[in-house]
Every structure is written in C-alpha cells, then in structure tokens.
Structure 1
Amino acid sequence: MSAQSPLAGVLWPSSDKPASMLRRAIILAAAGVLLLTVSAKINLQLPFVPITLQTLVVLLIGAAYGWRLGTATLILYLIVGACGLPVFAGPVGGLKPLFGATAGFLFGFVVAAFITGWLAERGWDRSVGWLFLAMALGHFIILSMGWAWLAFGVGLGVGKALIVGVTPFLAGALLKNAIGALLIPLAYGAARRRDS
C-alpha cells in the first residue's frame, strides 16, 4: 500500500521550496511540542506515573503529521525536556524523567508516533475503525515500553509494574483512542468541505 498525505499535508500542503518545507516543519514541530507540554500539565498524579492527556496528543501528532514529522516532533519534545525546560508532567525538565519511572513511557511516545504515523500514511486515518486500531496499537506500544521499564529498569517486578504502569491507564487509553479516531476523520471531512 502506497503512502498517502497525512492530515497536516492536506490542511497545509508542503511546498517544493526547501525553505518553505523547513519553515512548515519547524512550525508544526513547535506546535506539537507546545501541545505535548500543555497535555502533560493536565494530569492526575499517581505513584510512579501520572495520568495525562499526553498519549492522546502523541497519537494525534503521529496520525496528523505522518511518521517522519510525527517522530521528529516527539524526539524534539524529549530533547527540549532533556535541556531542562519543564515540558514533562509536573514542574519538571532535565534528564531525570528520561531515566526515572516515566522513561519507558516517554521513549514509547516516539515509537508510537512512528507506528501511528506510518499506518496513517497508509490510509488508516481515513476510517474511524482503522484509526481506532492504529491508536490502540500506539497505546499498546507506550504501555508495553512503560511496563517493561518499570518492571526491569526501575526494578518493580512484572506484577507491580502491571498494577502501577498499565492497569490505571487502560480505560483512559480506550477513551483516547475513540476521541482520536473521531477527530482525525472529522478534520478530513472539514478539509474536503473547505476545498469543495
């Protein structure tokens, strides 16, 4: 299946001019980092890992930007946080979150944006059902990487990592999948109406 233009390419088509392409990528990536930061600050603190809106935004960025720009945006987010800006959940930045309890989730964001973006470029973002599955796969990746890091990197063990790093997030993941799977096709519909 060939790649299709993701939502960002439909709403703001890329130019053939390198300077315009770069400006567009920088603006979209900066907007993505800003949305990720805001979504991190809307949180419910739990032991080890807070509940945030970040996974919804991660998966929306992947689906809307495609795998290249989506992945680059998530890498930029981690770099900005590593440089000390308080972009992560809570009033934190720096390297600690990238090596602490949330590290597996944060690095899972990058992989999830890649996979969701790749699937979106193959048309999975045009259908509510397929996009729900793509986002479910993205959540599975994030939760799996977060669980593995808590279990083996932090040393909580398999069972406790499942209890604190997966179980509290399952219902929210389903809700976020549904929201994301509705938003992207609605945006495509709005773009079609605008262009007709």
Structure 2
Amino acid sequence: MKSQKLHLLILSGILLATMIVCSQITIPLPIVPLTMQTFAVGIIASLLPVVNSFTVLCVYTIMGAVGLPIYAEFSSGLAVLTGPTAGYLYSFPIYCLVTGLLLKIYGKSYFSLFTANIIGMLLSLLIGSLWMILNLHLGVWAALMTGMIPFIIPGIIKVILVVVIAKRLQGFMQRQLAN
C-alpha cells in the first residue's frame, strides 16, 4: 500500500512536470495560442485517479498564479488568470474531473478513453470560449469562432495521441505495480 501511494505521488509529480513542458509547446495565434496543454491534461486525467488529477491541475494553476513562469509561453501571474485565455486554465481541473469520473464509471478501454477525453476537451474549449464572452465582450458566435471551432480538429488529434499513449503507459504502470 505504501509503495502504491509513493508510486502515485511520483507519477503525479512527473505528470505535473509534463503539463509544464507541454504548456511551452505553442503555436502562437491571435488571442488563443495552440498549445499541447490539453494533451497533457488528457494524459493526466487518463492515468491518475480523479482526485489526484484534479489536484495536479489545481497545483499547476496555483504555481502559475504565484508567479512561476509555467503557463504557455512562460507566462504567469494574476494577469494571465484574468486575461482572455484564463477560461482554459480554469477548465483544466474540470476536464480532469469529468474525464476521470467517466473513466471510473466506464473503464479505460480505447473507446472509453477516447469518448471521455473528447467530452473533456470539448468542455474545456467551451469554457474557454465562454470566458471570452465575459473578458473580451464577444457575442456567443464570435467567442465560439475564436476559442472553440478552430481548435476542434487539433483537439481530436491530441485526444487520439492521449488514447494511444495512455493505453501504452497503463500497461507499463500495471507491470511496475505488480513488481
């Protein structure tokens, strides 16, 4: 039992570091950059239990809020958490909750991983877009066209990568816990 808790703590730390690194893989675009953050969120939600994945994303958010340059393009601080893309940061723990709960209920088959992560990804894009309505004073359609629609195809590609990698890592992790 102790070794499983230690394994979970180490995995959480590794996945937090993965989130920080993936945040820096960015294609700058007007208003909303294309990043690998949602890929990392999907991996975290797929590999960790719900509470742990939620905690990792809350720690990530807090670390950036206190000034550690871990958000996209090495940004940080309260300005980011109140800026036009803050809704995406707030959506990441929610992505983990929803995806993790769906995986807990339906298991971690390829289909369940894909479906749960698609739902999490779409929810994240929707929350990010809704934030832009408030922050940039956009209409609903303009916010969706700015913050959601252009990111659906890249999001699906990232989810496919999440599923393939998560399935491979799950097998590896099960073998490690058995030893």
Q: TM-score, normalised by structure 2?
A: 0.89
Unaligned runs of 5+ in 2: none
Percent of residue pairs identical = 30
| Worse-matched range after superposition: 74-83 or 93-102 | 93-102
Letter in 1 for 2:140: V
Unaligned runs of 5+ in 1: 1-13
Alpha-carbon displacement from aligned partner over 1:101-152 (angstroms, at most 9, x marks no partner): 1111111001001111222223432x11111000001101101100100123
Letter in 2 for 1:187: L
Residue 146 (structure 1) aligned with residue 146 (structure 2)? no
Letter in 2 for 1:69: N
Letter in 1 for 2:71: F
Whether the aligned pair in 2 keeps the contact of 1:150 and 1:161 (CA below 8 Å) is: yes
Equivalent position SS for 2:73:
coil
Aligned pairs, number: 178
Whether the aligned pair in 2 keeps the contact of 1:66 and 1:120 (CA below 8 Å) is: no
Structure 1 residues 1-196: aligned runs within 5 Å = 14-15=1-2, 21=5, 24=7, 26-125=9-108, 127-191=109-173
CA distance in 1, matches of 2:58, 2:116: 20
Letter in 1 for 2:62: I
| Worse-matched range after superposition: 38-47 or 155-164 | 155-164
CA distance in 1, matches of 2:11, 2:170: 17
Whether the aligned pair in 1 keeps the contact of 2:84 and 2:132 (CA below 8 Å) is: yes
Alpha-carbon displacement from aligned partner over 1:11-35 (angstroms, at most 9, x marks no partner): xxx528xxx83x5554333322211
Whether the aligned pair in 2 keeps the contact of 1:81 and 1:87 (CA below 8 Å) is: yes
- The root-mean-square deviation of aligned C-alpha atoms, in Å, is 2.1
Alpha-carbon displacement from aligned partner over 1:12-62 (angstroms, at most 9, x marks no partner): xx528xxx83x5554333322211111111100111111001101101101
Q: TM-score, normalised by structure 1?
A: 0.82
The structure whose residues are more often helix, as a share, is 2
Offset at 1:159?
2.0
